């Protein structure tokens, strides 16, 4: 039997004959991959964790006093009707958000949330208290801000947010994280500008007047 040095024929032959060595190496490799994946996934907050943290900070409310409930989001645009294929495409375009209602310390807020990706740093978890998701609450506020009954208030889609019209005025709402509450600006409803009149044309062969 030769000297058992690193890389010698005797040592290499004994490694090849060992049934445990390859199996252990494969097991360790798989464990390392799974452990790395778990570590990466653990760094991405879930929508529930994100919404809870944001509500806790904005409302100055301890996390153990916050109740989170999954709720239905706003319906698809009316022009989609009952077309399931178009509705599915609309939901996919909007990243199939999850809507979470947070209740705690006398406040209620609904968040529109999207879950981040552990594998793509460009896709992060976010939860935003959109006007669309809080339409009932904002309509209640608009009855005061617009001095208008709820039955006369309706939502319109603005350039950057949902706006509420009623009794000749428009309420623009956005959420202020610093205050932990909605802010509003009331403006007159813009008057539609009529299209310019088409210039009069002279029929062919007719003398101009």
Regarding whether 124 and 141 lie in a shared domain, the answer is no
Question: Using an 8 Å Cβ cutoff, are 152 and 194 in contact?
Answer: no
pLDDT level of residue 61 (50, 70, 90 thresholds): very high
Regarding whether 75 and 141 lie in a shared domain, the answer is no
* Neighbouring C-beta atoms of residue 103, cutoff 10 Å: 16
Mean pLDDT, all residues of the chain: 77
Question: Using an 8 Å Cβ cutoff, are 17 and 23 in contact?
Answer: no
Quote the tokens at residue 194. Answer: 């009529």
**Across 165-178, average pLDDT:** 90
DSSP code of 78? G
Most confident of 16-25, 31-40, 54-63: 54-63
Please give the pLDDT value at position 185: 92
Regarding whether 75 and 51 lie in a shared domain, the answer is yes
Count the domains in the chain: 2
* Neighbouring C-beta atoms of residue 131, cutoff 10 Å: 24
Q: Domain limits at 169?
A: 130-192
Question: Using an 8 Å Cβ cutoff, are 166 and 184 in contact?
Answer: no
Please give the pLDDT value at position 208: 60
Regarding whether 121 and 50 lie in a shared domain, the answer is yes
Q: How far is CA 123 from CA 73, 88, 90, 177, in A?
A: 21, 21, 19, 22
pLDDT level of residue 168 (50, 70, 90 thresholds): very high
């Amino acid at each position: 039997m030769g000297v058992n040095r690193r890389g010698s024929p005797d040592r290499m032959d004994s490694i090849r004959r060992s049934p445990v060595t390859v199996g252990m190496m494969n097991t360790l490799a798989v464990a390392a991959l799974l452990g790395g994946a778990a570590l990466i996934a653990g760094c991405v907050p879930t929508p529930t964790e994100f919404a809870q943290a944001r509500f806790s900070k904005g409302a100055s409310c301890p996390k153990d006093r916050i109740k989170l409930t999954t709720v239905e989001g706003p319906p698809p645009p009316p022009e989609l009707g009952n077309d399931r294929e178009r509705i599915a495409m609309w939901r996919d375009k909007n990243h199939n958000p999850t809507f979470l209602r947070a209740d705690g310390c006398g406040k209620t807020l609904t968040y529109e949330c999207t879950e981040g990706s552990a594998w793509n740093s460009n896709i992060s978890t976010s939860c935003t208290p959109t006007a669309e998701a809080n339409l009932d609450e904002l309509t209640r506020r608009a009855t005061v801000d617009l001095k208008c009954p709820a039955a006369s208030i309706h939502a319109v889609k603005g350039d950057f947010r949902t706006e509420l019209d009623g009794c000749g005025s428009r309420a623009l709402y956005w959420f202020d994280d610093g205050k932990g509450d909605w802010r509003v600006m009331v403006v007159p409803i813009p008057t539609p500008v009529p299209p310019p009149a088409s210039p009069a044309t002279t029929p062919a062969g007719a003398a101009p007047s």
